[in-house]
Structure 1
Amino acid sequence: MEVLLTVKEIEKSFKDKKVLKNITFEVRKGEIMAILGPNGAGKSTTIRNIMGIMYPDNGAITFHQHNGKGIPRNKIGYLPEERGLYQNVKVMDILLYLAELKGYPLDKAKERALMYLKKFDLEGKEKVSVEELSKGMGQKVQFISSIIHEPELLILDEPFSGLDPVSQELFKKEIRSLADNGTAILLSSHQMNLVEEMCDRLFMIQNGQKVIYGTLDDVKTQYANFKCTIYGNNNIADLERISHVQRVEQEGDTSTLYLDKDVVPNTWLKELPENILIQELKINRISLHEIFIDIATNKNLIQEEGDANA
């Protein structure tokens, strides 16, 4: 796929503290790329550098062969984590105003605004002021404002914040549709289940530097060991003696066994002792949520073998 955005070896410091260290990744046309990390890891600073709100001390950000102040911002859509719509302005007026700032034709903007308001169950809210909307409705309007000008690159910072499950599904469907139609999407979220469900590739940052970069399958294969969940009343000491078990977590009659790297599940299951009580069993890889927690809390529970490269 065509690369639309390249972030290459960027660094950023505030006073004597370096907050970004050699950050490098790409975002391709038609893909959903996740940028992940705990609070304070450097995600927002990276996004602000891409948006031109600030500029890196070293390195380069290139979009459509342009860099620095030459990047065509009208081709980029941005949904910030902190919402910033004018509260006392009517919904349609704010959408048309923001489209005009991007140089987008107003007749097309109005047509798209009406289409999206209907799609997001906001039909008839055109003349309602932003301050009268619920948090979820406001989030929908903010999302519409980020895509109304048909951006080629869409940056979404916590897009699911304040949304109920039905609205989350609407957003997921629309984000995937945009990607399918060629929009490059850079998505930041703390909701790992949604990231795991939606994203094609991911870049995880911790303490201002890369810790994971690659496709979700690559990351799960490279970083995520298998775990086995056994439902049954078992003694934890018996489970800890099983071969290739790194550690065991137990809660009531549920035991989770974290396995060594490169364990072959079919072979390992055949070697389970006969005295283990199994009412139900499932085996799968550690989730993206568990990888995130492991890195964010420096538990070092995951056996790394290097980077997962795209």
Structure 2
Amino acid sequence: MLSLYIQHKRHGDEFELKNIEVTIMPSQITLLLGHNGAGKTTIIKSLFGLMDYVGTLSVNNKKIDLNVSEDVDYLKKNVSYISDEIALFDYLTPKEYFSLIENSFKHQVDHQLLEKLIKIFELERYLHIPISNLSHGNKKKTQIVSQLFKGSEFVIFDEPTNGLDPDMVIILRKTLHFLKTKGIGILLSTHHLSFGEELYDKVILLRNGKVKLNCTRDQVFEQFGRMSLEEIYEEANKDYYLKAEEILNAPDVRDNSEDRDSETG
């Protein structure tokens, strides 16, 4: 189990996170949902020590101190991170990049999974081309494959569909479902609600640093019935949308001076 508890985190003047609990279980997919600026990225960066916060982090019941190198190594070994930005060594080919990952995590990499991922993400013809010469989509696929075959117990995925065409979005969904059946715990942060519709076991929904929803799929069904994820998202944020509807439906108020001008013209 991977567990993050943020007791308090101030994010400038925009918002603050308080009493946020994120738990990722083996063989489960947790969706992290929210608008831009809701706090999703802050949570993910906190998981990897990229932001300071008051709270605790543990992996498999081992408390992680991000100031201790051994703990950081343990975190990196057990948790893979696929960011929404593509950060690769562009001067390497995908084949060379995968070899670099293999050498760094040689006691845990899944070579059979690597071969499967290369085939289903259609990277075979690009293995010996410098990453700098690849299309954005193929760079994204290289990034995804490099993290998924590492053999980590947990995967953190930020905006997984960015840069992928419809075929690869479907392939990725099937891949994540496959990884879940193999015991991998996954956190997905996404704006595309339909992508996680069939996958999720738990959903965490944020608005302006506050948790609007944090429950399992069964609890979602108990509370919302068979509503779609988009409908659930709208219902959980209904105050926000009601305000928007009030603005849209408010009667137009014309400038009185314009009325007088038209009457005397």
CA contact (8 A) 2:30 2:202 kept: yes
Q: Deviations over 1:99-127 (max 9, x none)?
A: 434x3259x56665444212321113211
Query: In the TM superposition, what are the counterparts of 1:35-74 in structure 2 within 5 Å?
Result: 35-56=32-53, 58-64=54-60, 65-69=62-66, 70-71=71-72, 72=74, 73-74=76-77
Query: In the TM superposition, what are the counterparts of 1:232-251 in structure 2 within 5 Å?
Result: none
Q: Secondary structure at the match of 1:202?
A: strand
For residue 82 of structure 2, what is the aligned residue in structure 1? 79
More strand by share: 1
Q: Secondary structure at the match of 2:128?
A: coil
For residue 162 of structure 1, what is the aligned residue in structure 2? 163
For residue 185 of structure 2, what is the aligned residue in structure 1? 184
For residue 213 of structure 2, what is the aligned residue in structure 1? 212
Deviation of 1:207 after TM superposition, in Å, equals: 0.9
Q: Secondary structure at the match of 1:198?
A: coil
CA contact (8 A) 2:154 2:184 kept: yes
Q: Secondary structure at the match of 1:21?
A: strand
TM value normalised by structure 2 = 0.80
Query: Taking structure 1 as reference, are residues 115 and 193 closer, same or farther at Cα in structure 2, changes over 3 Å only?
Result: closer
Larger RCO, structures 1/2 (Cα 8 Å, 6+ apart): 2
Stretches of structure 1 lacking an aligned partner (at least 5 in a row):
226-284, 302-310
Query: Taking structure 1 as reference, are residues 215 and 125 closer, same or farther at Cα in structure 2, changes over 3 Å only?
Result: same
**How far apart, CA to CA, are the structure 2 residues paired with 1:90 and 1:113?**
15
Deviation of 1:6 after TM superposition, in Å, equals: 1.4
Q: Deviations over 1:187-233 (max 9, x none)?
A: 111111111121111111111121101123422431x37xxxxxxxx
CA contact (8 A) 2:3 2:24 kept: yes
For residue 198 of structure 1, what is the aligned residue in structure 2? 199
Match of 1:299 among 238, 241, 248: 241
TM value normalised by structure 1 = 0.69
**How far apart, CA to CA, are the structure 2 residues paired with 1:135 and 1:32?**
26
For residue 233 of structure 1, what is the aligned residue in structure 2? none
> What is the root-mean-square deviation of aligned Cα atoms in Å?
2.4
Q: Secondary structure at the match of 2:241?
A: coil
Are 1:104 and 2:106 matched, yes or no? Answer: yes
Deviation of 1:12 after TM superposition, in Å, equals: 1.3
CA contact (8 A) 1:11 1:18 kept: no
Q: Secondary structure at the match of 1:82?
A: coil
Query: Taking structure 1 as reference, are residues 111 and 180 closer, same or farther at Cα in structure 2, changes over 3 Å only?
Result: closer
Q: Secondary structure at the match of 1:137?
A: helix
Q: Deviations over 1:135-167 (max 9, x none)?
A: 222211110111121110100111111222211
Match of 1:289 among 189, 213, 230: 230
Deviation of 1:17 after TM superposition, in Å, equals: 5.4
Query: How many pairs does the alignment contain?
Result: 235
